[in-house]
Amino acid sequence: MSRGTVVAKRYAKALFQLAQQKGLVAETETQLKLIVDVVESNADFRAFLAAPNITFEIKKQTLVQAFGAEASPIVLNLVSLLIERGREGELSAVLTAYLQVAGEVLGRADAHVITAQAMTDSENSKLAEKFGALLGKTIRVTNSVNPELLGGLTIRIGDTLYDGSLKGKLERLDKALQSAAI
């Protein structure tokens, strides 16, 4: 595990504990995701937060002005602390670790599903039910489309990849045939 991952997990655990004490676990997740989305999608904002010639106080004031209405003090304090310690680059890793920590404690997991065509809400809920029963957790499904799969789907839940794609099946068949021919 890289040093950045370990650091992100520590921050995430601390944030989760604070959020749990205040009964704001889901809200904290939403607020942190909002800030991460803005920072990742805006190169100028990212450069501003990383700029060494801008004081921490100015960065903190800007954060409060930008997110004060949408984010709770615990989320703003976490982001401020990361910036103050020069770890603004760890923000998305902290979100990922927070989702993992919250999921473990609350008994839920995120399933990232890649399909050749977009899934319907009905298909999403069936998939969530099936894997929820398999894993004994509540599953939240996010779907993205990759036409290269040809058909079927791949599902990533945590560190586990379930490959039911046509492309994956063809690749496995190709390897089996090549090893049998030798």
Domain boundaries, the chain: 3-103, 108-181
Judge whether residue 58 has pLDDT over 80: yes
Mark residue 86 as left, alpha or beta (left: phi above 0; alpha: psi -120 to 50; beta: remaining): left
Nearest to 4 by CA among 88, 112, 109, 105: 88
Structure letter (DSSP) for residue 68: T
pLDDT of residue 4: 63
Average pLDDT over residues 45-74: 88
Average pLDDT over residues 158-167: 86
Average pLDDT over residues 71-82: 91
**Neighbour-count burial for 97-134, b at 16+ CB within 10 Å, e otherwise:** bbbbbbbeeeeebbbebbbbeebeeeebeebbeebbee
At residue 107's C-alpha, the angle toward residues 103 and 109, to 5°, is 50
Containing H/E element for 42?
none
Q: Which pTM was predicted?
A: 0.71
Judge whether residue 122 has pLDDT over 90: yes
> Across 27-180, where does the E strand assignment appear?
108-115, 138-145, 153-157, 160-163
Phi, psi of 138 (to 5 degrees): -85, 130
Contacts of 116 (CB under 8 A, 6+ apart): 145, 146, 147, 148, 149, 150, 151, 152, 153, 165, 166
Query: What's the CATH code, domain 108-181?
Result: 3.40.30
Structure letter (DSSP) for residue 120: P
Contact 110, 157 (CB under 8 A): yes
Judge whether residue 64 has pLDDT over 90: no
Q: Give the model confidence (pLDDT) of 2-49 as tens digits.
A: 566 788 899 999 999 999 999 888 899 999 999 999 989 999 988 898
pLDDT of residue 2: 59
Judge whether residue 128 has pLDDT over 70: yes
Q: Give the model confidence (pLDDT) of 129-138 as tens digits.
A: 999 998 888 9
Does 3.30.1300.10 match the CATH number of domain 3-103? no
Calculate what percentage of the chain has a pLDDT beyond 70: 97
Residue 159 CA to residue 5 CA, distance in Å, equals 14
Containing H/E element for 98?
helix 91-106
